Structure 1
Amino acid sequence: MTVAQSEVALEEFEAFDAAAPEGFHVELINGRVLVTPAPDGDHDENVVSIGRQIQAREPALHMYQGRGLAVPAYKAGRARVDGAVAPVGYFRGQPSWSDPSGVLLVVEVTSGREPDAEVDRVDKRDAYAQAGFPVYLLVDRHRGEVVVHWDPEGGNYRHTSTAAFGAKLALPAPFGFDLDTSELA
């Protein structure tokens, strides 16, 4: 992962994003450009497993993978989330960097090196809380655990719960069921 040392304006980011080589994800989080390689198969399967469980309980919801969201956090941001749960059809007609107001849950899965995971654990968590996403779910492959954050207030999540891979993790409202993490890796 490459992180720009100075803050980048939204216009500069958009030019960089348009010029990025195929196979790389480019995001703007709290004024910093983050560049990551495309995810591996296990990464994608984790998101699919979570999405399948949610849709089995709430058929009107869908897990959208790799969706670009305009994150109105601390600074104008752009996040390409691993998963975004929203009502079926929510993104129809939206641009590539979509309005996140209808997103109920954001999923990120750690990739790459252990130090890179701190972006998902801290930077993205804080940006998503500031943006008011109701629930943020992190699949931390480096630590072998799933962490759910919910109830954003004042730019922070008020509640957090963690479960080791293989254990059940209670998801808060509006989901209200135990996520089976036995398929996660």
Structure 2
Amino acid sequence: MDYARMRAIAEELMRHAPDPIKGFEITGDGIYMMMPPSRFHDFNVMRLSRQLDRQLPDGLVPFPGGDIEDPSMGKLRRPDLIVVSDEVFGEENEPFNPRDLSLAAEVVSPTNHSNDYTEKMEEYPAMGIPLYLLVDPRKGTGAVMSDPGSGPDGRPCYRTRHDYVFGDKIAVGEWTVDTSEFRTYAP
């Protein structure tokens, strides 16, 4: 099925979805309806957003939950937080072009962690997103990925990766994030 048809089906499903459904993602495998995240998840997104907001130059903003779309790849994703120019907010309800992003950040959910660690590790560099911040409250760890390009096997990847543990101050591009403000999921 072509991407335009999948997108139309996803939008129709959203019109009939029950209240807890907050959005959808489209991958090569299909359409995934998204449930709202936990409070711990949202807390970490909020802390990250506040830290970045204090450091971003005029014209760049952190934005939670914005859809990004690359029709040529047949992908629509919803990172937990993006950093984007405020100039690209002109199209109401249209997904962002991933090439307009400075950063995509994902807070790993307790149940669907492979999505952030596997699929998005290949999709985000292929979409041209220069920085990918992964926050994993399950383990109290994460990684900052940069330098998107082709790996040794020719597949898209981030060629630079810096791992961290909660408590570290990390460089995310030209910004600094204090991960001691993040919380792990309750046992």
Q: Which runs of structure 2 are paired with 1:1-185 in the superposition (5 Å)?
A: 9-24=6-21, 25-60=23-58, 61-72=60-71, 75-113=73-111, 116-154=112-150, 155-172=156-173, 176-185=174-183
Matched to 1:157, the amino acid is: Y
**Matched-pair contact (CA < 8 Å) for 1:70–1:99:** yes
Instruction: Figure out how many residues of one structure are paired with residues of the other and give that number.
Output: 172
Deviation at 1:139, TM superposition (A): 0.8
Structure 1 vs Structure 2 CA RMSD? 2.0
Identity of aligned residues (%): 28
TM-score, normalized by length of structure 1? Answer: 0.82
Q: Distance in 1 between matches of 2:121 and 2:15?
A: 26
- TM-score, scaled relative to structure 2: 0.82
| Unmatched tracts of structure 2, length 5 or more | 151-155
Moved more, 90-99 or 121-130: 90-99
CA distance in 2, matches of 1:93, 1:10: 17
C-alpha separation between the residues in 1 aligned to 2:71 and 2:144? 21
Which portions of structure 1, spanning 4 or more consecutive aligned residues, are displaced by more than 6 angstroms?
A: none
Structure with the larger strand share: 1
Further displaced range: 34-43 or 162-171: 34-43
Select between 37-46 and 92-101 the one with higher mean Cα deviation. 92-101
Higher helix share: 2
SS at structure 2 position matched to 1:161: strand
- Partners of 1:54 and 1:140 lie apart in 2 by 18
Instruction: Judge conservation of contact 1:31–1:76 (CA < 8 Å) in 2.
Output: no
